[in-house]
Chains A and B, each alone.
Chain A
C-alpha cells in the first residue's frame, strides 16, 4: 500500500520489482553484470521501503532514552540501532529514526507518540525518499552535487550531514551497508522524482547507474 516517492523513476529500467514490507521496491537490474559495475563505480539505489519516523521537542531525547535507545549525545550525529537501523540527532531536539530491514523501532516510536505526541515530544511523520549512493567514485560524484567538504568527514565519527544537494535539502550519513562504505541520503519525498532523475543522470555520465536494493540488502524478497 505504501508507495516509494520515486517508484516511477524505475518504470523504464529493465529489472525486477518485489514487495518489501508493504512497498513495491526495485530489487535488481536485469543485467547483473552492469549492476555489479554500477555497484563498484557509482551506483544509486532506492531504499525508501525502510520504515522511518521522527520526533522533535524539548523532551524528545528523554523519551528516546526511556525506550532504551542509544541516543547521540552530540547534535548532528547518529547511533546504530538493532536490526541495521539508525537513530540520527538533527540539531538539538529533533531526531530521525530509520529501521533496518528487520527492525521495528520506528513503528514502535510512532505508536507511542500517537498523532498528538506526548508532553515535550512531537511526532514528525517522515515520508522521505531514501537513496543509497555507493561505489569508488562517490567523492567525485559528491563534488559535483554538493558543497560540503566530505573529505573532512570520518565515517567513524558518525556525523550527520544536513545540507543541500542539487538544490534539495538532504540529510546524509556515511555508513557501511553490506560491507560497502556508502552514503545514505534522505530528502523530502515530493522532491524525490527530480532528485533521483538528476543524480541518476550524473551516475550515468560517470559510468555508473542504478542498483537494485537486493545488492545492498541481500535476501529482501
Chain B
C-alpha cells in the first residue's frame, strides 16, 4: 500500500487521459478517487468505476489474453460478458473486470498468462494457431498411451483461467426467500413501463436488474441527444413514487425453475423468488461482427463504448470507425462525436443504408457513410495491443465481398453495431416455445407459458416508443394473471419497421483470425472444419468446437455459430435450432450456491449423557448415535469388545431411541397391521410382541421391527432407525387407499427408548419398576405398561442381542431421567453403556439380520432366510403376490452363516468381499465379525443356493486377491436355542 500511495500523485493525471469532464448521468463519484494495481501498474479511478472503465480511462485497452492463442484482448461488451478481461485479486479468481467495481487497494493480475500480460510466454501459441484447429486434441494425443500423462499435465497447466487460492476462508452466505405478485426482470424502458402498469393495477412488483443502476439502454444509448436521460428521469421518478414497486439493482435473475421460482443473485446472496407472474424484459445481447482481427483491443460493441462514455465518462478512442447494420450504430457514432471524438466512417452493411433521421444527423456532422460495405479486416498497431486502421470493402448485392478495391481508414477504435440476440435464456428455461423471425432476424417468443410474459427487445421490439407500449401491455397482462382486476385496455404495439440485426454478419478472410467465439478462440475456419468432420448439427458442433462452452456461455457466439451452420448446410435458422439453456445461464459464485448448510440432525434425549460417557458418535440416517464409548487405555476395538462382554456376562444399556415408533389405533388396526406386515397378528394377545417384516409391492424386504399389542385396538410398532419416516408415510398412504378406520401416530420423536440387556438387567430394572418384572410376570416377548421411577413406560422383552433384556420406552422429556436412574442402579452391577458397534456384534452372534445391510434392493424374505416370518396363507399382505411368483422361481442367492477356521489369524475379509467358486462370483459377505464369545470369525453372506449346505467349504477373496477358506454353518451362532433370553 505504501508503494501505491507513493505513486498516486504521479498517476492521476497521466492515467486519466481518456476521462472526460463531469457529465450528467455518470455513475462515478468524482469526490471519491481510488487507486489500485493491475499487472504491477497503479491505476486511478473513482468510486463507481468498474475495473475496466478505470483502466480504459488511462488510455489502456489491452487488459487480457485469449484462452487458447494468448492473443491480446480488451473490452468487448461492458455488460458482464467480457471473458477476455477476467482478472484475479488473490482469493477471487474470476473477477469480471467489465462490471466489477474497482476498489481501493486491489492487487489485480490478469488470468491465463505465464509471466505477465505483456511478456506472456503463452503468446507464442498464436504462431502455432494454424496447427491447432478446433478438435485437434481429439485426434492427436491418444497414442502412444504412455505419453498421455505428460500431455494431460501439459494441458492442465496451459488451460484454466484464475488460480484457486486454497487458503480462502469459507463464507457462509445466507439465502433468503422472497415473494412478489409480478417479478419484472430488467429495468430498461420496457421493464420499467411494465412495472408501472402492473403496480397501477394493484400488484406488488419487484424489478430486478443486474446493473448497479436501473434504466437499461436509457443509461447509455443517447444518440447524441438528451431524450434518453430525460425519459429515464421521468420513469424513475414515477417508479420511486409508487409504493408497490421495489427495485433491486445489482441483482441477476440467473435461473428459472418450476412454478415461477427464480434464483436472484446479488453480491451478497441468492434470493429464491416465488412470483405469481413474471415479466421478462431482459433485453438483448449485442452481437459482434466476424472479420479478421475483430478481437484486437479497441474493437468492441458499440454499446460497450456508449456505456463507457455515458456511465463512466470514458472515451475509448479519438478516431472511430463504426461498423453497423442498424440505427444503433449511427446513434453510437453521434454519441462518440458528442463525447469529443471523431468518426472516420460509418460502414453500413445494408445496401440501402440507414433510412431514418439518424442518417441525416450523422451526415450533417460530416461523417463519411459507406452503405453496402463491410470491414474486411482490422489492422493492428505495432505490438498488436490496439487498432491502427480498418480495411473496408464493398459488399455485392448478394452480400459477398468484392475483393477489388477498398478503402483503409485510420482509427484507434472500431465499434460493431450489427445486431442483437435476445437475452431469452430464462424464457427458454420457463418452457417458452421460440420461433425465428426472418423479419427482424431474431428468435422471438412464439408460445409463452401461462404467467410468463415478455416485452421489449427480448420480445423483438426495438423502437423506443414501442418498447414502452410493449412493457405496458406485458405489465397489465401480468397483473391480471396475478389476480388483479385490470380495466380492459388494449395496448397496441406497432410492428417494427425493420430489424436491427444483420442476417449474416460474417466476413471470411483467407488468413483467418476472424473470431466467432472470443471465450474459446474459435475462428470461422473452425466451424468449416466441424461441418467437414460431420459434426453438423448445432449440439454436435457445440461439442466439437466448444462454441458457447466458455464462461460467457455463448452469449456472443451462439447466434453467429447458428448462422454459419445454417449457411454451410443450406438450411433456415429455424431448422438449425438452438442449444439448450439450463439454469444457471450465467456463472454464480459457489459460495452463493452453497449458502448456509441446513442439514438437520437429530439427537436423542440422552445424547448429552452419551457425550459425558465418552461416546464416539456415528451418523445413522440423520441421527447421531454412539458408535462406542471411549475408555481410557483401550483401543476402539478393545472398548467395543468390553461392551460386548459386559452385555454377555453382566449388564449393558444402549440408547435405541432412534428406532421408528408408530402407534396404530382404531377398529381396523389389526387388519391394517395384517396387511402391512408378513406375519400373523389377528390372534396376537394383548401384552405381547411379534417380529414384523415389511415388504414393498415387489416383495423386497424394506423394513423390520416389532409389533406390540397394547389393547384390542391399539398397537405399538417399532421400525428400523432409517426406515421410520418411509414406513410412516407408507402406512398413511395405504390407510387412505384401503379406506381403513385407523389412527396412525408417529411416536418416534416423542418416545425415548433404551435397551437394558444382560443377565443382570432384571436386577437393575426391578427396584425402580412398579410391576413385577420376573420371567413369570413379564415373559420373553411380553409387552407391559408400567412406571419406572414414576415415569409411565412401556417395556418389551425382546432379544435382539440374545440376552435377557428389556426394551424400555418412555416420554422423551423424561428419557434422560430414566436413563440416569437405571445407570445409577446399574453401577451396583458394573453396568456399561454400549454402542451401535457392540450391538452389531451381539446381533450377528445371534444371526439376526439388519435390513439394508444384510439385504439389498432386490432381496425378498426367502433370499434373506426369513421365510419363517412370512405367512403366505394369509388373505393379503403387501408384496404377497410378488412372493408367490418368487416362490415359483429358482432363487439366485440365499443368506447363510459362515465361519472361518478357529485358528485363523490372517487378514479378515470385509463386508462386500466376494465369495468365489471355481473362479466365478458366487456370493458376497454382508456382515462379519471376530466373535470373542465364539472364539472365531463369523458372518453372514449371500451364497448361491447350491453352495448353501451346512459344512460346505467356500472361499472369500480379499482385496489383494488372496482367498480365505470358510465354512457354511447354521445360525444362530450363539445360544442357538435362545435360552439366555428366556430366563
Complex Cα gap A3–B81 (Å): 58
Pick from B274, B713, B751, B812 the residue with the most CB of A within 10 Å: B812
Judge whether A57 is part of the interface by a CB distance below 8 angstroms: yes
Q: By the criterion CB–CB under 8 Å, are B598 and A167 in contact? A: yes
Nearest chain A residue, comparing its CB with the CB of B813: A2
Smallest Cβ distance from A103 to chain B, in angstroms?
18
Q: Which residues of A are found within 8 Å of B623, using beta-carbon distances?
A: 190
Judge whether B710 is part of the interface by a CB distance below 8 angstroms: yes
- The SS class assigned to the B binding surface is mixed
Given A115-B710, A124-B745, A188-B749: A147 in contact with B177 (beta carbons within 8 A): yes
| Total A-B contacts with CB atoms under 8 angstroms apart | 115
Complex Cα gap A146–B598 (Å): 11
Binary interface encoding of chain A residues 166-208 relative to chain B, with 1 for a CB under 8 A from any of its CBs, else 0: 1110000000000000000000111111110010001001000
Binary interface encoding of chain B residues 803-819 relative to chain A, with 1 for a CB under 8 A from any of its CBs, else 0: 00000000111111100
Binary interface encoding of chain B residues 587-608 relative to chain A, with 1 for a CB under 8 A from any of its CBs, else 0: 0000000001011111111011
Q: Which residues of B are found within 8 Å of A148, using beta-carbon distances?
A: 177
Judge whether A70 is part of the interface by a CB distance below 8 angstroms: no
Pick from A57, A189, A198 the residue with the most CB of B within 10 Å: A189
Judge whether B663 is part of the interface by a CB distance below 8 angstroms: yes
Nearest chain B residue, comparing its CB with the CB of A149: B179
Judge whether A144 is part of the interface by a CB distance below 8 angstroms: yes
Q: By the criterion CB–CB under 8 Å, are A127 and B749 in contact? A: yes
Given A147-B274, A188-B749, A189-B812: A116 in contact with B710 (beta carbons within 8 A): yes
Complex Cα gap A134–B576 (Å): 58
Complex Cα gap A193–B602 (Å): 8
Q: Which residues of A are found within 8 Å of B663, using beta-carbon distances?
A: 122
Smallest Cβ distance from A121 to chain B, in angstroms?
8
Q: By the criterion CB–CB under 8 Å, are B599 and A167 in contact? A: yes
Complex Cα gap A4–B750 (Å): 12
Q: By the criterion CB–CB under 8 Å, are A1 and B817 in contact? A: yes
Q: By the criterion CB–CB under 8 Å, are A117 and B665 in contact? A: yes
Smallest Cβ distance from B187 to chain A, in angstroms?
22
Complex Cα gap A77–B710 (Å): 33
Complex Cα gap A198–B711 (Å): 41
Pick from B605, B657, B811 the residue with the most CB of A within 10 Å: B605
Contact of B603 among A1, A127, A147, A190 (CB under 8 A): A190
Q: By the criterion CB–CB under 8 Å, are A144 and B176 in contact? A: yes
Complex Cα gap A152–B177 (Å): 14
Judge whether B967 is part of the interface by a CB distance below 8 angstroms: no
Smallest Cβ distance from B254 to chain A, in angstroms?
18
Q: Which residues of B are found within 8 Å of A58, using beta-carbon distances?
A: 741
Q: By the criterion CB–CB under 8 Å, are B813 and A168 in contact? A: no
Smallest Cβ distance from A189 to chain B, in angstroms?
5
Q: By the criterion CB–CB under 8 Å, are B608 and A166 in contact? A: no
Pick from A189, A190, A192 the residue with the most CB of B within 10 Å: A190
Judge whether B347 is part of the interface by a CB distance below 8 angstroms: no
Q: By the criterion CB–CB under 8 Å, are A122 and B608 in contact? A: no
Binary interface encoding of chain A residues 96-133 relative to chain B, with 1 for a CB under 8 A from any of its CBs, else 0: 00000000000000000001110000111111100000
Smallest Cβ distance from B244 to chain A, in angstroms?
13
Q: By the criterion CB–CB under 8 Å, are A147 and B272 in contact? A: yes
Nearest chain B residue, comparing its CB with the CB of A125: B750
Judge whether B579 is part of the interface by a CB distance below 8 angstroms: no
Q: Which residues of A are found within 8 Å of B812, using beta-carbon distances?
A: 5, 127, 189-190
Q: By the criterion CB–CB under 8 Å, are A189 and B174 in contact? A: no
Binary interface encoding of chain B residues 641-662 relative to chain A, with 1 for a CB under 8 A from any of its CBs, else 0: 0000000000000000100000
Given A57-B743, A143-B176, A144-B174: A3 in contact with B785 (beta carbons within 8 A): no
Contact of A3 among B272, B603, B714, B813 (CB under 8 A): B813
Pick from B178, B665, B751 the residue with the most CB of A within 10 Å: B665
Give the 7 A-B residue pairs with the shortest CB-CB distance, closest first.
A188-B749, A127-B750, A122-B743, A122-B665, A149-B179, A127-B812, A2-B813
A-B contact pairs, 10 of them (CB 8 A): A116-B710, A122-B663, A122-B666, A124-B750, A126-B750, A127-B749, A144-B175, A189-B812, A190-B605, A192-B603
A→B interface (CB under 8 Å): 1-5, 8, 23, 56-58, 115-117, 122-128, 140, 143-144, 146-149, 151-152, 166-168, 188-195, 198, 202, 205
Beyond contacts A115-B792, A191-B602, A193-B601: 16 other A-B pairs, Cβ-Cβ < 8 A, are: A4-B813, A5-B813, A56-B745, A117-B714, A125-B747, A126-B750, A127-B811, A127-B813, A140-B176, A149-B177, A166-B598, A166-B600, A168-B600, A188-B750, A190-B603, A194-B600
